[in-house]
Structure 1
């Protein structure tokens, strides 16, 4: 199967943003678009909870009724998912995508994406913000595991689509971020978009040569490019630069060799993505 843009929707308030960013990416990359909905049937703990003083017959009857309710809930969840996928495809068609596809799976988001990884060129997910509805909890809590398990670019997006006008890459000279610069340089996704390269660290000869390489790589590919080396806390420094230069898409390596690695590995991954007000493209 041709590698495609895959967009995971879950009924949260991020779904519209996911649809629109996925459509934008699909058109720019000239890649097929598939929407994915995963029905996560959480195991019920009712049986353990009901082991009190009720009679055996009553308990068995109650468990049977709970089992039937579980089946009904699963059917409702699947039907809701089908309706969401239908609406997502209609929205993508309105955005200009020819024939978007859809998939519905049972299981967990992480396991499902691992199974589909070979089909994915770019994964689009919604970020769970501080005011997110509980319906999106499973998606938000899965962010770190998705990043750890998937070896494909992941685009985390906000609720509302805004066509990117300026992109910033957090660069640390690692293999991942060097590949990221090369990706920016050649990808149709960033065609015509000015690029900013930011190194968080000291003004050293090595950092300066790394920055010069990144800028020349981008400029040789026809991009308008500028860069900076700034000392300070990684997350705060990148946030300030983003705000000062009106950056509306950030590219980061999910795993690098510097402090950026420590920023993105562990519990701070979800926190950083939650605070970001613009799309974040994570590279592996």
Structure 2
């Protein structure tokens, strides 16, 4: 089965941006796009089975009414989701993706996403889910769970869409970080874009050699790597400052191995990083 881009649609404020970045990724990768809407079992439970309570005399009619209400609520949730998917399909169509697929599932969001990863090339999700508050400041709990669970690249959209031109790769010199560089080389997703390389750490000979390897690998593959940097400090603060200072459009980071980046991404600082970021993040898995 051909790998494709999946986009999580939930009706939140980030849905439009998710659609735009998903369409961008689909076209860059020359692959199909599927819009996924999951009726989360906590927010939209299926109709309950009250048969075990039948026989409670005067309460029997009430239980039947409750069951009917649950069934109607489930039907409305399905219809609402289908309308959202159709609106999303129109959005990506206007972005240049003519034949996006639509998929609706019922259950745990993370489980549903993991079930699809066999033919998933990239997953696009918003920073914040439909049930979250304080737009732009919080990170959805589902997103954190997906980052920890999924073994596919995750593009976290934020703000309004801007086709990336300047990309920052947060590199730490580890073997897993090198694999991230090699994955970029083998993918057309960022071909032709400017890629800066930043290593957060001491300015040592070893770190200079590691950054040089990353730059040479990308350059040899035809990538434009105009800037490399080694800066000391806290990972999240240094990366955010660089992105703002150099006006980056996309941040690429790894989320595997046992490096500082790994500890940073899957630890408590994950929320801080994604919350503070004003540009999308491509998290490599």
Flag whether TM exceeds 0.5 (same fold). Answer: yes
Matched, 1:254 2:255: yes
1:269 aligns with 2:270: yes
Q: Quick check: 1:157–1:279 contact (8 Å CA) kept in 2?
A: yes
Residue of structure 1 equivalent to 2:4: 4
- 2:144 counterpart residue number: 144
Give 1:180 deviation, angstroms: 1.7
Q: Report how far residue 133 of structure 1 moved.
A: 4.4
Partner of 1:86: 86
* Contact persistence 1:11–1:84 (CA under 8 A): yes
Return the alpha-carbon distance in structure 2 between the equivalents of residues 134 and 245 of structure 1: 28
Q: Is the 2:5–2:22 Cα contact (8 Å) retained in structure 1? A: yes
What are the Cα deviations for residues 30-65 of structure 1, in whole angstroms up to 9, with x where unaligned? 000000000113259x99xxxxxxxx5455543432
Q: Distance in 2 between matches of 1:271 and 1:142?
A: 15
Asked if the contact 2:9/2:36 (under 8 Å) is kept, the reply is yes
Q: Is contact 1:13-1:132 (8 Å) kept? A: no
Contact 1:144 1:266 in 2 (8 A): no
> 1:106-121, aligned counterparts within 5 Å?
106-121=106-121
Q: Within 5 A, what are the aligned runs for 1:55-204?
A: 56-128=56-128, 133=133, 140-204=140-204
Secondary structure of 2:270's partner? helix
Aligned residue in 2 for 1:227: 228
Query: Which ranges of structure 1 fall in alignment gaps of 5 or more residues?
Result: 48-55
Offset of 1:144 from its aligned partner?
Answer: 1.9
TM-score when scaled to structure 2? Answer: 0.89
Question: What root-mean-square deviation, in Å, do the aligned CA atoms of Structure 1 and Structure 2 show?
Answer: 2.5
C-alpha change, 1:77 and 1:212, in structure 2 (3 Å) is same
TM-score normalised by the chain length of structure 1: 0.89
Q: Verify the 8 A CA contact 2:185 2:218 in the aligned structure 1.
A: yes
Q: Given the superposition, is the C-alpha separation of residues 233 and 210 from structure 1 closer, same or farther in structure 2, using an over 3 Å criterion?
A: same
Between 90-99 and 184-193, the greater mean CA deviation after superposition: 184-193
Residues 133 and 63 of structure 1: CA distance in aligned 2, closer, same or farther (over 3 Å): farther
Segment drifting more, 72-81 vs 251-260: 251-260
Report if the CA contact (8 A) 1:172-1:256 is conserved.
Answer: no
**Displacement of 1:270:** 3.0
Kindly state the Cα deviation for residue 135 of structure 1 after the two structures are TM-superposed: 11
How many residue pairs end up in the alignment?
A: 274
**Kept in 2: contact 1:172–1:257 (CA 8 A):** no
Whole-angstrom distance in 2 between the partners of 1:64 and 1:173: 63
Consecutive unaligned residues in structure 2, runs of 5 or more: 50-55
